Chain A
Amino acid sequence: AQSVAQPEDQVNVAEGNPLTVKCTYSVSGNPYLFWYVQYPNRGLQFLLKYITGDNLVKGSYGFEAEFNKSQTSFHLKKPSALVSDSALYFCAVRDGATNKLIFGTGTLLAVQP
Chain B
Amino acid sequence: NAGVMQNPRHLVRRRGQEARLRCSPMKGHSHVYWYRQLPEEGLKFMVYLQKENIIDESGMPKERFSAEFPKEGPSILRIQQVVRGDSAAYFCAGGAGYDGANVLTFGAGSRLTVL
A: residues with CB less than 8 A from B are: 32, 34, 36, 41-46, 49, 51, 90, 94, 96, 98-106
- Closest Cβ of chain A to B19, distance in Å, is 19
- Closest Cβ of chain B to A103, distance in Å, is 4
Are A99 and B48 touching (Cβ within 8 A)?
yes
Q: With A43-B106, A43-B109 in contact, is A103–B48 under 8 Å at CB?
A: no
- Closest Cβ of chain B to A94, distance in Å, is 4
Residue B80 at the A interface, CB < 8 A?
no
**B window 53-91: CB within 8 A of A:** 55-56, 58, 91
Residue B107 at the A interface, CB < 8 A?
yes
* B-side interface mostly: strand
Q: With A43-B91, A44-B91 in contact, is A101–B104 under 8 Å at CB?
A: yes
- Closest Cβ of chain A to B74, distance in Å, is 16
Task: Kindly list 19 other residue pairs between chains A and B, CB separation below 8 angstroms, not including A36-B106, A49-B101, A94-B101.
Answer: A41-B108, A42-B109, A43-B4, A43-B91, A44-B91, A44-B106, A45-B106, A46-B105, A49-B103, A94-B100, A98-B55, A99-B31, A99-B48, A99-B98, A99-B100, A100-B33, A100-B45, A101-B104, A102-B45
How many residue pairs, one in A and one in B, have C-beta atoms under 8 Å apart? 61
A58 and B95 CA atoms in complex are apart in Å by: 22
Least CB separation from B6: chain A residue: A43
Least CB separation from A6: chain B residue: B42
Are A32 and B101 touching (Cβ within 8 A)?
yes
- Closest Cβ of chain A to B105, distance in Å, is 7
- Closest Cβ of chain A to B88, distance in Å, is 14
**A43, A46, A102: the one within 8 Å of B107 (CB):** A43
Interface pairs (13), CB distance under 8 Å: A43-B6, A51-B101, A90-B43, A94-B100, A96-B100, A98-B48, A98-B55, A98-B58, A100-B33, A101-B45, A101-B104, A103-B35, A103-B45
Q: Please, how many residues of chain B have a CB less than 8 angstroms from a CB on the other chain? A: 27
- Closest Cβ of chain B to A40, distance in Å, is 11
Nearest 8 interchain pairs by C-beta? A43-B106, A105-B42, A44-B106, A103-B43, A94-B100, A43-B108, A51-B101, A98-B56
